[in-house]
Amino acid sequence: MNAVIGSKVAPTGIGAPKTKQNKVYEKILGIGDSNEWFKVSLFDTVGLEIDSSITTNTLKDIKKFMEESYRNSDGSIQVVWFCVSQCCSRFESYEVALIRDLSITYEIPFVIVITQCIGDSQGELEKQIAEDLPEVIVHHVLAEPYTVRGGSIPAFGVDDLLSLTAYQHDKLRVRLLEAKIDALTFRREKRIEELTRRARMCITKSSEAAKKIAFIPGACIPFVHGICIKMLVEINQALGINSSKDAAEEVFTSALLGIIATPVMVVPLLSIPVAQAYVETIGETYLDCLVNVIEKSSDAELKDITLLSKRIKEELRRK
């Protein structure tokens, strides 16, 4: 912070973290070879490692600050420098989650700044970053000259960090947005996978119910239809879609792909396997259509039952 501002505005020292409260520093700085001038606002936060209560408050302040910046953005460059000493062994799990969640949520690029760099070797921390946060840029700095016996290691990296922030912001943001798309796609795929698993449990349960009722050839037909209607309602619920029994019955009418198999249920001995296959076919076909609709719909569109019903019927007609 002091190296960026050009004067000792923040407390420094060896040992325990010195920053005791979150604070904003502002200065007009010339950045880059062209010495173009920028108004720089630096939000200096308390170190996350001081103690749990301070860390909790700091995280709240950071999230509040980023949320307000995200909501009130005026087009200015916004980047988070997550500073960590080179001697640090590894990130805590909450730090990795913090970087990933905040950057993805608020679409603000993070740069992990490795401070106090006096050696060239890549430690466990950087290996962890490459594995857990591949979308995040890592930058090395030595803010002040480091004195050793026989001489000193000159300071480096601060000017380059400012230039990276000012002139490579668009690239950082594109990299972040690509990571966000990948993350959202992965989450959506995992969510659909889990919801599909739940829906198939509904189909299995309904198939077993049809097996029991199909002991009564012929008379079982209306009961099997009732089981199918209930199954469609349960599949909708499993996939997070609210629908009434009436809506399910309307869709079920469109879903009777195996209706020609219904008379076969009148035949003794064949009624049980046919009833089961009938219910399973209806369930799997409907689930397949529903998954296709979900994949093509936004979260907002999935809450519009009228639109969703229309798309499901269109999808069923293609089958």
Q: How many residues does the chain have?
A: 319
Q: CA-to-CA distance for 304 and 302, rounded, in angstroms?
A: 5
Q: DSSP class of residue 154?
A: P
- Listed by start position, the domains of the chain span 2-167, 195-318
Q: Look at residue 225 and tell me whether its pLDDT is greater than 60.
A: yes
Q: Look at residue 279 and tell me whether its pLDDT is greater than 70.
A: yes
- Which has the higher per-residue pLDDT, 19 or 274? 274
Q: CA-to-CA distance for 285 and 231, rounded, in angstroms?
A: 12
Look at residue 79 in the predicted model and tell me its pLDDT: 86
The reply to whether CATH 3.40.50.300 applies to domain 2-167 is yes
Look at residue 205 in the predicted model and tell me its pLDDT: 94
Mean pLDDT, the chain, as a whole number? 78
Average pLDDT over residues 168-193: 85
Residues 312, 290: contact at Cβ < 8 Å?
A: yes
Q: Look at residue 15 and tell me whether its pLDDT is greater than 60.
A: no
| Segment of 20-29, 39-48, 119-128, 168-177 carrying the highest mean pLDDT | 168-177
Look at residue 259 in the predicted model and tell me its pLDDT: 40
Q: Look at residue 64 and tell me whether its pLDDT is greater than 80.
A: no
Q: CA-to-CA distance for 267 and 25, rounded, in angstroms?
A: 84
Look at residue 156 in the predicted model and tell me its pLDDT: 92
94-137 pLDDT tens trace: 778 878 877 887 788 889 999 988 877 777 888 888 888 888 88
Residue with tokens 């002040």: 144
- In sequence order, which residues have a C-beta less than 8 Å from that of residue 33 and are 6 or more positions away? none
